[in-house]
Chains A and B, each alone.
Chain A
Amino acid sequence: MSRAALLVLADGRFPAGGHAHSGGAEAAVHAGRITGAASLEDFCRGRLHTTGLVSAALAASAALGVDPAALDAAADARTPSPALRAAARKLGRQLLRAARATWPGVELDALARRFPKGAHQPVVLGVAARAAGLGPQDAAHCALYESVGGPATATVRLLGLDPFDATAVLARLAPEADRVAEAAVRAAHRVAEEGADALPAASAPLLELLAEAHAARTGRLFAS
Chain B
Amino acid sequence: MHRDHIDPHPGPAVLGADARRPDGTRRALRIGLGGPVGSGKTATVAALCRALRDEVSLAVVTNDIYTREDAEYLLREAVLPPERITAVETGACPHTAIRDDISANLEAVEDLEDSVGPLDLVLVESGGDNLTATFSKGLVDAQIFVIDVAGGDDVPRKGGPGVTTADLLVVNKTDLAPYTGSDLGRMAADAKAQRAGLPVVFQSLREDEGVAAVTSWVRQRLAAWAA
Residues of chain A touching chain B, judged by Cβ–Cβ distance below 8 Å, are 13, 15-22, 90, 93-94, 97-98, 100-101, 104, 109, 112-113, 116, 154, 157, 218-223
Contact = CB atoms under 8 A, between A and B. Distances in A.
Contacts of B62: none
Interface of B: 9, 11-13, 15-16, 65-68, 89-93, 96-97, 100-104, 106-107
B89 A223 contact: yes
Contact of A112 (B13, B91, B97): B13
A19 B89 contact: no
Given A16-B103, A19-B91, A98-B103, 6 more contacts: A20-B90, A20-B91, A97-B106, A104-B11, A218-B67, A218-B68
Nearest to B9: A104
Contacts of A16: 101, 103
B119 to A, nearest CB: 18
Nearest to B89: A223
Contacts of B68: 218
Contact of B103 (A22, A97, A220): A97
Contacts of B89: 20, 220, 222-223
A13 B92 contact: no
Contacts of A113: 11-12
A71 to B, nearest CB: 19
A16 B104 CA distance: 8
B145 to A, nearest CB: 23
29 contacts: A13-B100, A15-B102, A15-B103, A19-B90, A19-B93, A19-B96, A20-B90, A20-B91, A20-B97, A22-B91, A90-B104, A97-B13, A97-B106, A97-B107, A98-B103, A101-B16, A109-B11, A112-B11, A112-B12, A113-B11, A113-B12, A116-B12, A116-B13, A157-B92, A221-B66, A222-B89, A222-B91, A223-B89, A223-B91
Contacts of B90: 19-20
A94 B93 contact: no
Nearest to A114: B12
A104 B102 CA distance: 18
Contact of B101 (A19, A90, A112, A223): A19
B197 to A, nearest CB: 32
B11 A94 contact: no
A88 to B, nearest CB: 14
B16 A15 contact: no
A98 B100 CA distance: 12
A97 B100 CA distance: 14
Given A15-B103, A20-B97, A109 B91 contact: no
Give the top 9 A-B pairs by smallest Cβ distance, nearest first: A20-B91, A94-B103, A15-B101, A113-B12, A223-B89, A112-B12, A221-B92, A109-B11, A101-B15
Contacts of A19: 90-91, 93, 96-97, 100-101
